[in-house]
Chains A and B, each alone.
Chain A
Amino acid sequence: MLEKAGTAGQEKQKQDHLKELHAAILTLRAKRERLFAETAALKDLKDKLDQGLPLEEEETDDFMQLEQFLLKSRLMQLKDLQTVYHLIGGYNLIESKQGKSVCVSFRTAFEGMYLETYNLEMDLRRTVQISRHNIPPCVPLERLAKEHLQADFKAFLEILSLHLNALAGRKQQVLLIKELIGTVEIIERNQLCNFLVFMCKIQEETEAAVLCTLEYGDLTQCLPTRVTIESENKTLAESPQWKKNQVLLMESPVHSALLTMRKVGSIV
């Protein structure tokens, strides 16, 4: 008896599921028909325009639809531009509360890879004030705001974006070391990623290793301002090859410097 009720229940569930599927299909079919018709009308409009035929200025339904397509076309163009600005410029501003506050979202990227987005809401009544944000505490936001916010809003956005991008870039470099060069061991790094210590193995067989310390004195940059090379083998650390490596680490992102060093046989 119980079993029967169970199967009946299952049966009902199945039926319901099928009904749902049916309904979804019907909706999609209708949508498809609408889209097909719209696309055909659009193509018609495009052909007309391509042939240089005038658009009839009549208050017909057809013309109304034409108008809508043209408006959509303009809007699409503008939206594309908006997307592009966000892709190339790094920040986006949205006014809210009837212009009383403004939201800025900062995108960060490193070498073609888009990383975290941070948001900042500012109160524009009387003096500009930061009301809410999700910027990591290690970024000196307060100092930057004090120095730039009242005097030059644009400069403030620029410098903050620089800080956020540099932070994201330094973080990403550490990730890339782990991903690309497995033999390098990260000994120490901090939240701001402006201090990085790692150990490079020199040869596969021996324990010979070099300790590199990278300090990033300029928080708006992805490149270190100081590189120290240490090794138990003093002559190695002082060798011309490692002097070259030191320069390399100063001048290029750490993961690509390490890849080059591996290529020339400095590390394994």
Chain B
Amino acid sequence: MGTMEQKLNEELKQLQREIEVCEAEQDSYVRSISLQHGEALRGVLQTLYNKKEKGDGTLKKDVSKLITDITDTEKDLRRQTNISGITLTECCVKTLEKNERKTIQQYRLTGHCCFLSFQVEFALVDIQDSDSSLQKITDLNVILDGAEFKDLCAFVSRVEETKSLFLFFRTLRLFSERCKQRSCTLQYFKEKYPDVVRLPEGCRSEVMMIQSPKLPGCTMSIFWKISVSKEGVVQPKLELLMKMPEQAQKMDTNNVMETAPEAFRSLLKIFGVEASIESLIKSVCF
């Protein structure tokens, strides 16, 4: 009797294993179809959507249900994109290992946050035990594109080292938010004072120059850096740099040249960025 039971149990386990393998195979086919044949897929989907809208009775119940699920999920994803500020343009998932207890999946994501684009690769290990479950990230790899990112290198290597996926996207969001603010402000001043304000490297860069036609040779440069610490703390830092021709420097009895940067720092603390820049511009304009 015991052997009979053993035999049956073995067959049961074998069947379960075969089903797991088969399901994994199916998943990978399904994923590769959507990844490689997006065009064909969209065509068929559109036909089906139209059918459904017209109330075509030939649609099977399963198909109809699938279409509803798809539309709902699409709606949810639009909200996710909107709320997170992160747009994913490509998402590739591969199952590396799967059994009852443990699943390892590899993710490759391409996307952007504002105008900053990224590519992120990681593996997610999911361990389910009878009394506990555990999910963790391993092998995190981040590639960033764009000049804005040169100050992020230390942070990115720290993120990769500690596998802090959450922190990376949170900081990316904050950082791009600050970059957007900066470019909006710079753009605003450029438009308001086109004769005085110059943005030598465009509105997305960190430099703004103030030059009055009445004071040739005198330049005030504002360096607006957005620093990101190794632990992901985002902080804007503004500095003022003065340039004057030598002759003017001789007449600078109040030592404006040297005291201005410090004065600008105090101004920033009290009035904030926009009002400080505004007053700086007005000081040379009028």
Q: Hey, which bits of chain A sit against chain B, CB under 8 A? A: 14, 17-18, 21-22, 24-25, 28-29, 31-32, 35-36, 38-39, 42-43, 45-46, 49-50, 55, 57, 59, 64, 66-82, 84-85, 87-94, 107-114, 154, 157, 162, 165, 221-223, 251-253
Contact = CB atoms under 8 A, between A and B. Distances in A.
Interface in B41-84: 41, 44-45, 47-48, 58, 60, 62-63, 66-67, 69-70, 73-74, 76-77, 79-81, 83-84
A66 B60 CA distance: 13
A93 B76 contact: yes
Interface of B: 1, 4-5, 8-9, 11-12, 15-16, 18-19, 22-23, 25-27, 29-37, 40-41, 44-45, 47-48, 58, 60, 62-63, 66-67, 69-70, 73-74, 76-77, 79-81, 83-84, 86, 88, 91, 93, 107, 109, 120, 124, 134-138, 140, 162-166, 169-170, 229-231, 233
Given A46-B33, A77-B31, A28 B16 contact: yes
A42 B164 contact: no
B60 A64 contact: yes
Contacts of A22: 8
Contacts of B166: 88, 90, 107-109, 165
A28 B66 contact: no
A88 B169 contact: yes
A183 to B, nearest CB: 23
A24 B86 CA distance: 46
A25 B31 contact: no
A107 B137 CA distance: 14
Contact of B8 (A25, A57, A85, A91): A25
Given A25-B12, A85-B84, A112 B137 contact: yes
A82 B77 contact: yes
B77 A70 contact: no
A71 B66 contact: yes
A31 B32 CA distance: 23
Contacts of A14: 1, 5
Given A75-B66, A82-B73, A84-B91, A45 B33 contact: yes
A227 to B, nearest CB: 14
Contact of A73 (B5, B33, B124, B231): B33
Nearest to B165: A88
10 contacts: A49-B36, A55-B40, A59-B58, A71-B48, A75-B66, A80-B91, A109-B165, A221-B233, A222-B231, A251-B230
Q: Across the A-B interface, give the 3 residue pairs with the lowest CB-CB distance, nearest first.
A: A112-B163, A112-B137, A71-B66
